[in-house]
Amino acid sequence: MAEFDFASIMKQAQAFQEKLREMQEEAASKTVEAQAGGGMVKVVADGGMRVRKIEIDPAILAANDKPMLEDLIVVAVNDGLARAQKLVAEEMGKLGPLAGLKIPGFPGA
């Protein structure tokens, strides 16, 4: 069995934390767009799970249908946040299993 080097594991864990922080910052700077009602409501969200922008087509405002507008906003925001979560998951996947940590006793160590 490989010798357990706690200092080495701590260095690797710190490097992993730094990679994770960089990935989170990168994902937060990326945006995704979602829409509802055939584009009547558009939402831009980022990887930090923040809604950056909401666009509402003037035609839906002119229709004066408040409940429909509210529903379209909810659908577009939820879709935007789901897309942002997928973006973050894809970025996290780039780190790979255990992000290259070499821990004795674990596969790949």
The domains of the chain are located at 28-94
pLDDT at 2: 56
Length of the chain: 109
pLDDT at 104: 52
pTM as predicted? 0.72
Q: Tens-of-pLDDT digits for all 109 residues of the chain?
A: 456 678 888 888 888 888 888 888 888 899 999 999 999 999 999 999 999 999 999 999 999 999 999 999 999 999 999 999 999 888 877 776 655 555 555 444 4
> How many Å apart are CA 79 and CA 32, to the nearest integer?
10
Q: Is 28-94 a CATH 3.30.1310.10 domain? A: yes
Which helix H or strand E contains 45, and what residues bound it? strand 41-46
pLDDT at 107: 45
pLDDT at 106: 46
pLDDT at 46: 94
